[in-house]
Chain A
Amino acid sequence: MNLVFKLLEAIMPIFIRYLQFCSHDLQASLFKHSYSTAFINCQIHSTLSCSTPENYFLSPLSKMAAPVPPFSLLSSNLDRRVKITKVNKVQTFYRTVFGPEKNHRAAIKEVANILASYSDANQSTTDGMIQKFYEVTKADWQK
């Protein structure tokens, strides 16, 4: 019996990845059954990653914007003087960092660390840039 469980344990992550790869809808359904809330965000691009409703959004924020414009450009840009010229170490890297409101600094720092680790970006300057990205977008969402 132990052997069966060990085998299942080994196979399950591969199976789940396979399901994720096969279908957005199926993936969504699976996770909807797994979590009480229906609100979950998984994305499939060249690599796979899912996150739970509790930790995906840089929230909670009280504003419910409706109707929401489908697309708009913000008036603020990020600093073009922060130089990043190449990605190194990885072919593809994809990670979602959670960011509940009270932990947003930690989330920003983690993203800055990732960016500096896998590119030629300078960590101190990228940290400031990502902090600005957070502040600008948060302010826009709360309008």
Chain B
Amino acid sequence: MTIFMKMSKGNGSVVRWHIDSNFSQDTSAHPVGSYAVTLLGPPTWIADQSREFNRDLIKTVRSAPFGYHDSKNWPANQDERLRERIGDRQIYRFTANQKDSPVHTTPPHLEDRIFLLVNYAN
């Protein structure tokens, strides 16, 4: 179980879209079930894979050498369109290092944030 806590910088930050890695080179082996919840601050942004307008972003992240894509000054209206909605204190589950693992990011660092993550595997 991992806990993340951040105090607000108040001036935003780079939005880093990425896929979590489990460091297994074989993506078909050892699927990891990750569960997360935001206890304070804005929830994680998940790029909704079913939406046409997210295809470029998802493709960019999946083809990036380290699975990262940094976006500075991402337009606010774009953010609204990109996000899959996660409610307040909503627990969600996602995979790591799979071909269809969700592309996601921590929101701009404008508010204090506390985030919990737990991984299950065998």
> Chain A: residues with CB nearer than 8 A to chain B?
23-25, 28, 31-32, 38-43, 45-46, 49, 56-66, 68-74, 76-80, 84-88, 90-97, 99, 107-108, 111, 114-115, 118-119, 121, 129-130, 133-134, 136-138, 140-141
Contact = CB atoms under 8 A, between A and B. Distances in A.
A87 B21 contact: no
Contacts of B61: none
A92 B122 contact: no
Contacts of B120: 57-59, 61, 63, 137-138, 141
A16 B3 CA distance: 23
20 contacts: A24-B23, A38-B23, A39-B23, A41-B22, A42-B23, A49-B2, A59-B122, A70-B100, A71-B94, A72-B94, A73-B92, A80-B88, A87-B112, A88-B7, A94-B3, A99-B1, A121-B39, A136-B91, A137-B33, A141-B120
Contacts of A133: 35, 37, 91, 116, 118
Interface residues of B, number: 52
Contacts of B95: 68-71
A111 to B, nearest CB: 5
B84 A60 contact: no
A77 B67 contact: no
A73 B3 contact: no
Contacts of B39: 78, 84, 115, 121, 129
B24 interface: yes
- Nearest first, the 7 A-B pairs at minimum CB distance are A137-B35, A28-B23, A93-B5, A78-B89, A87-B112, A74-B91, A141-B120
Contacts of B32: 41, 57
B55 interface: no
Contacts of B91: 73-74, 76-78, 133, 136-137
A108 B96 CA distance: 23
B12 interface: no
A73 B90 contact: yes
B110 interface: no
Contacts of A90: 5, 7
A107 B116 CA distance: 13
Contacts of B100: 70
